[in-house]
Structure 1
């Protein structure tokens, strides 16, 4: 409506400009001059009103897009949280008592073998390649942070683990810390992707969920090894999932698109180092005590399945 009025006003001005001021009707041009000033002022007011309406529309359009981004990001975080508690619902109801039997302990060792394989696969086929792929990341710094992650877990275990049971619990706690940081980077990726494009955010969320499912199963096995019951393990998994929500909130609040150099340069290598220590220094030595040849073969197969599965899922994640 305002645009049509503005065009009509322009046509009136153009018509008026064709009237010569020295006519018998207005020999000194004062009527035309007054009309010109009035209509120029009117045209300026129309232009200002149109610009104001455009600014208001742009503001509300931006707010609607932002709220849409918030809602999609919340949905992505819910998916990450769901991944952490899925293992609790696929295990038998009496799984805690089942673990006390010989067959139950052997089954737990198979899960732990899968956990070691998935952790190693996650480190060398996902986390570290993601760091090395970023040309802006200093590789020496990434190596230092990986070493810091290994030493951090080693020092905490030495300081706090005074018995075999305390060592297992410390291993579970360290794994929770590393997973919290890993989920934080996933939250950054989800929130940043939805800031860029809804379709990109959905694809990122789907790939992370597919990638995390086997990883969460291995995390659950580590918690069961530390004598966590089913619901204690669920609570611990929900705590690590809060890292994803925190990362998503950080991405939205600071308007971080996709990933950040800080996350690639510091958090991912530190997490990789923590996973290396947990897998090779804390879980694998216990599995090496197995003397049954059949069980050793099964553990080796679970170890390979964990590595290959993380490799395949990482290729899907990259695509």
Structure 2
């Protein structure tokens, strides 16, 4: 039963986020990206601080060990980020004014950086291609990690799993929007970009199954898995999403950001309180 829940949760988060991203980036909702970032940051922080961490600390594990794990987790995700594997690439679309050019430029730099690591010859198309593969590789690692995190949340408590899957879904939407922009530059085929990102998103389910098997074997360590999930959520929210919101701000935009942040927190709280009633 738990495994079915994990599969449903991971697929909804992994592929649902891609579909939502496609609707947003190819549709009328493209200008709401900033709000999505605020919403995602709120949802991630609320899930980590109000659900995952309390759940981990309710176990028999010592507070000192759990906090040490949180610290290790944050450093670990920072290092993954350095390795371009936990990299969210939201900065590929820097606001409404200068979308594609900035994205192209950012991706070009990224592609060049990746390409340089592989070979010193053959420019142009290969470079762009390796850039898009780097994006997909990062995506897949990220999705796999998310799958394991969602699985451990489900193993702790079904309600917690639902909340974690939702938090992943919400924060993957702006991320996938960035990816779709990038992949559209490397190939002009909208559908191909969509399919590629969907496949990377589907890796979440694979992570879910692996996470299920892993936590099943190491059930005593579940609190530590939950702490790792929290550190991932906190890292992404604070290092990735919130810096995007610290840029150009008018008073009105600031109010909107805080409001959407609050909505993100409220949404998670609401869903878990609804779940508690059942």
- Is TM (by shorter chain) over 0.5? yes
**5 Å matches for 1:1-319?**
72-73=1-2, 75-84=4-13, 85-90=15-20, 93=23, 95-98=24-27, 104=30, 106-134=31-59, 136-160=60-84, 166=110, 175-176=142-143, 178-186=145-153, 188-189=155-156, 204=158, 208-209=161-162, 212-226=165-179, 227=182, 229-249=193-213, 260-264=219-223, 266-317=224-275
Q: Aligned pair in 2 of structure 1 residues 306, 171: CA closer, same or farther (>3 Å)?
A: farther
Native 8 Å contact 1:208 1:317 kept in 2:
no
Shift of residue 273, structure 1, vs aligned partner: 1.5
Q: Any stretches of 5+ residues in structure 2 without a counterpart?
A: 90-104, 114-133, 184-192
Shift of residue 122, structure 1, vs aligned partner: 1.0
Native 8 Å contact 1:207 1:317 kept in 2:
no
- 1:27-73 CA-to-partner distances (Å, cap 9, x unmatched) read xxxxxxxxxxxxxxxxxxxxxxxxxxxxxxxxxxxxxxxxxxxxx45
Q: C-alpha separation between the residues in 1 aligned to 2:83 and 2:17?
A: 31
- 1:166-215 CA-to-partner distances (Å, cap 9, x unmatched) read 5995986775354133123145347xxxxxxxxxxxxx3x7733663354
Calculate the TM-score normalised by the size of structure 1: 0.58
Q: C-alpha separation between the residues in 2 aligned to 1:268 and 1:123?
A: 9
Counterpart for residue 36 of structure 1: none
Q: Aligned pair in 2 of structure 1 residues 173, 244: CA closer, same or farther (>3 Å)?
A: closer
Calculate the TM-score normalised by the size of structure 2: 0.65
Query: Looking at both structures, which has the greater relative contact order when contacts are Cα pairs under 8 Å and sequence separation is at least 6?
Result: 2
Q: Aligned pair in 2 of structure 1 residues 269, 208: CA closer, same or farther (>3 Å)?
A: closer
- Which deviates more from structure 2 when the two are superposed, residues 164-173 or residues 219-228? 164-173
Secondary structure in structure 2 of the residue aligned to 1:137: coil
Counterpart for residue 39 of structure 1: none
Q: Aligned pair in 2 of structure 1 residues 309, 96: CA closer, same or farther (>3 Å)?
A: closer
Secondary structure in structure 1 of the residue aligned to 2:199: helix
Q: Any stretches of 5+ residues in structure 1 without a counterpart?
A: 1-71, 191-203
Native 8 Å contact 2:140 2:201 kept in 1:
no
Q: Aligned pair in 2 of structure 1 residues 272, 76: CA closer, same or farther (>3 Å)?
A: closer
Please provide the CA RMSD for this pair: 3.5
User: What count of residue pairs does the alignment treat as equivalent?
Assistant: 222
Shift of residue 86, structure 1, vs aligned partner: 2.8
- 1:62-91 CA-to-partner distances (Å, cap 9, x unmatched) read xxxxxxxxxx45533442244222344456
- Which deviates more from structure 2 when the two are superposed, residues 150-159 or residues 168-177? 168-177
Q: C-alpha separation between the residues in 1 aligned to 2:138 and 2:241?
A: 8
Secondary structure in structure 1 of the residue aligned to 2:61: coil
Shift of residue 310, structure 1, vs aligned partner: 1.4
Structure with higher Rg: it is 1
